[in-house]
Structure 1
Amino acid sequence: MPVPLLRRMGLIYGVIHDLTTDFASSAWTCLLKNEELELAGSLVLSPSEYLRFCRAFYRVELYLCLFRCRTRLTSVPFGEHHFFSNQPPWEKEQLISVLDFLELKLSKGSTIVITTAEHNQFRQLLLLQGVDFIHSLISESSYDDKKALLKSAFLVPYGQANLYNALISRPESDLNNIVTVSDYADEDDLEALFPPIESHDQNTDKGPFEAWRVAFNRFSTCMWVMLTDNSELREWAYVFWDLDRMETSGMLELFEYAPGYSELELACYDDIDEMRESFEERSKIWRKGGSGYWSKNDES
């Protein structure tokens, strides 16, 4: 392989390692706040847990690399909405968890320069830039450099790839299916609906499957991924932990009841109001002939 490509791969691995560590630590901190769990104070990921976190970030980055530059004049031998069609719902939930985490990091990393809002297309465009871009943004301390990095995202004619839509898309046959997870009394029958767990020793742990099963127990086929009410579970990285860890700590009992909204979801509602107020205040200043950097309650 060419040396520049090897170097690029090494740099991306470093980025994904940092993001994996950050996400796992953040999720663990959230879980420690639950008094009903029996958790140790510090987190040491098992090899299989570390593999799951890294693999999810790599899969997100792979999708973005393949589809973010698509235009009407380019073609890809497979549709973006079929890219994850052979993955079971708990692995799709892993990718959605990673997306939620990256979106939260993007929101925090750019909070001085842009505001956030649910379904904000500008923010989705920034997510398309990939893990290296987001890692650079959250690591950058200079306001001017941060703004320049954000502006660079709008200089490239990116396509309209939407990873959220690709993950949530389902076969037409599932749209009206009212069979719930709990209707499958035999877990083996439920697992048989999806591709077998990979043969690699580190991928055979049933923790992610069990976490997904209890979280979606009462939901039908057409709702087996990406529920808004489960956003806090994704913040807890619920489909990444080993079964032994979950059984020992009591996580499965906690995951059975969707707890509510994550930090990302709650921030969206607050940010919408702040964004509207910001637009209104800066518009007034602009109409009076003012310009420059503005922050709340400061027109100096």
Structure 2
Amino acid sequence: MPPSYFLQMPLHLITLVLVELDCIQSLGSAILSHSSVYAAFKEYPKTVIYRILLKQIPRELRSYAIIAHNTSWGGHRSPHELRRYIRHALRCTRGLSTDEADLCLWRSLERLHFSPAVASSLSKTHMLVEHFTQRYLADTLPIAARDLFRGWEKSPTNARRPSDDEVYRVRRALYRFQIYCNLVCIEHKDKQYRNLVRPFFIRWSPWVNEQLACIHDYLEGVLSQAFDEVAAHDILWGASSVDWVSRGRNNTYKQAYLLYGLPFLYKIDHAKDYDERLGLLDSHGPVCIIQGLAADLKSIAIPPHGPMWILELEQWRTEDFVVLAREEGDGPDGLQSGPFNTWWYAHMDVIALHSVLLPENWRLRRCGYVMWDAPSSVEETEDDEISFFERRLRRIQRTGRRGLSEPEGAREEMERSWAERTGVLRRGGHGYWAHGDLSKVV
């Protein structure tokens, strides 16, 4: 259809085209393209915004999308309002019918006055979640196939198509990461926002919190590709003794940068060169904090303590595990799920209090071990498959323990570079430093 014919159509017919757009950002471009398109949007703004978001955001994630907006700095909610809101909103929507889930989205948008800015925020956040979901699956499924699960490596692509539940777990963990960043972001001057973190964590079972730990480790790796290069070569960063060797909660610099959330990590992930990466990092720091996601996962991701929490998990009775399940938020990850069984095998000889972000399980988290469906349970899987899986899991844990220590000489080399760059700075030098090569120093 020639463009002129399209623009001469009645406004309600143009609206039918607008609601098929894939995101709110595309809508913005469309309504700026011609006055007729803008007029059609103004005639039915609620319908257009609602239908686009309805298509873009899966129904089981819509509550998380709304929470992500309402916890953002732009949400302008008081700590008391957020506490009450999170308590009521964090319920799993996977059990809702399509009509019920659609109605929940409509009511949420009504409370937010169907603001185009809010719709854009919801759409943009989901685009970021989707970007990192696809990146995570592409990077992690082949590792899981190779290292953890028998049979997956037989695929010609060394991976298989992830199930709907597996994709949901990754998306949910990414939304939870962003919500956490919103709650404790550096812009929040009121420390009461941090008090919301504990109730935020304990609404999920330990193995679902371990999924968030997997995402933490993965995103730390995304950040490290840029951070390590800048920290190892920039003269000012070296003179400031910025550490790039330490990992997890031991590196408070990286923990701070992670708090800037998915929008910042997306920019870092797409930075084209060293100068662009340096500019992005410098525009946000360098900063240093006391506590970030890694420390919070270790200290508050477990429900309130009781006598059982000081026992190893293999000493728990079957009925004891019921206290771990969380009706709000666990979704497909109940006591019969693959994530629960995989988590249990990995921690059966571990005190329950230490069953999230265990340092020696870093290689298991690199596999995304609690994200996947298989093996689902002992009853549904042949004994030889379970024993094979346990052997692989234990082997990965053993190599993970050996890999906990820093690479030999890495810290000494880092400290020597700090000293050299401090000397260069004192002589008035700035810019890019490399050992034995000062050609880029200005």
TM class by shorter-chain length? 0.7 to 0.9
Match of 2:173 in 1: 56
Distance change (3 Å), C-alpha of 1:35 and 1:12: closer
Structure number, greater radius of gyration? 2
Equivalent residues of 2:203, 2:326 under 8 A apart: no
Q: Which amino acid aligns with 1:112?
A: E
Q: How much has 1:134 moved relative to structure 2?
A: 0.9
CA deviation profile, 1:24-53 (whole Å, cap 9, x unmatched): 222223234439832222331100000000
Q: What is the distance in 2 between the residues matched to 1:259 and 1:33?
A: 16
Q: How much has 1:252 moved relative to structure 2?
A: 4.8
Match of 2:425 in 1: 286
Q: What is the distance in 1 between the residues matched to 2:402 and 2:366?
A: 8
Gaps of 5+ in 2: 1-113, 233-243
Match of 2:118 in 1: 5
Q: What is the distance in 2 between the residues matched to 1:132 and 1:89?
A: 27
Q: Where do residues 206-225 of structure 1 align in structure 2 (5 Å cutoff)?
A: 206-225=337-356
Q: Where do residues 12-31 of structure 1 align in structure 2 (5 Å cutoff)?
A: 12-31=125-144
2:310 alignment partner, SS class: coil
Q: Select 1:178's aligned residue among 301, 307, 310.
A: 310
Distance change (3 Å), C-alpha of 1:245 and 1:213: closer
Relative to structure 2, which stretch is displaced further, 257-266 or 202-211?
Answer: 257-266
Q: How much has 1:121 moved relative to structure 2?
A: 2.0
Match of 2:374 in 1: 243
Q: How much has 1:161 moved relative to structure 2?
A: 5.6
TM-score when scaled to structure 2?
Answer: 0.59
Distance change (3 Å), C-alpha of 1:31 and 1:110: same
1:297 alignment partner, SS class: coil
Equivalent residues of 1:82, 1:166 under 8 A apart: no
Q: Select 1:195's aligned residue among 325, 330, 344.
A: 325
Match of 1:163 in 2: 293
Q: Percent identity?
A: 23
Q: How much has 1:198 moved relative to structure 2?
A: 5.6
Q: Which amino acid aligns with 1:79?
A: L
Q: How much has 1:280 moved relative to structure 2?
A: 2.2
Q: What is the distance in 1 between the residues matched to 2:194 and 2:417?
A: 44
Q: What is the distance in 2 between the residues matched to 1:168 and 1:35?
A: 24
Q: Which amino acid aligns with 1:26?
A: D
Q: How much has 1:288 moved relative to structure 2?
A: 4.5
Q: What is the distance in 2 between the residues matched to 1:218 and 1:10?
A: 43
The one of the two structures with greater contact order (alpha-carbon pairs below 8 A, sep at least 6) is: 1
Q: What is the distance in 1 between the residues matched to 2:330 and 2:295?
A: 29
TM-score when scaled to structure 1?
Answer: 0.84
Gaps of 5+ in 1: none
Equivalent residues of 1:81, 1:165 under 8 A apart: no
Match of 1:130 in 2: 261
Matched, 1:272 2:403: no
Q: Which amino acid aligns with 1:7?
A: S
Q: How much has 1:295 moved relative to structure 2?
A: 2.0
Q: How much has 1:131 moved relative to structure 2?
A: 1.2
Equivalent residues of 2:144, 2:368 under 8 A apart: no
Q: How much has 1:20 moved relative to structure 2?
A: 1.6
CA RMSD of aligned residues (A): 3.4
Matched, 1:102 2:219: yes
Q: Which amino acid aligns with 1:53?
A: V
Q: What is the distance in 1 between the residues matched to 2:189 and 2:282?
A: 24
Of Structure 1 and Structure 2, which has the larger fraction of its residues in helix? 2
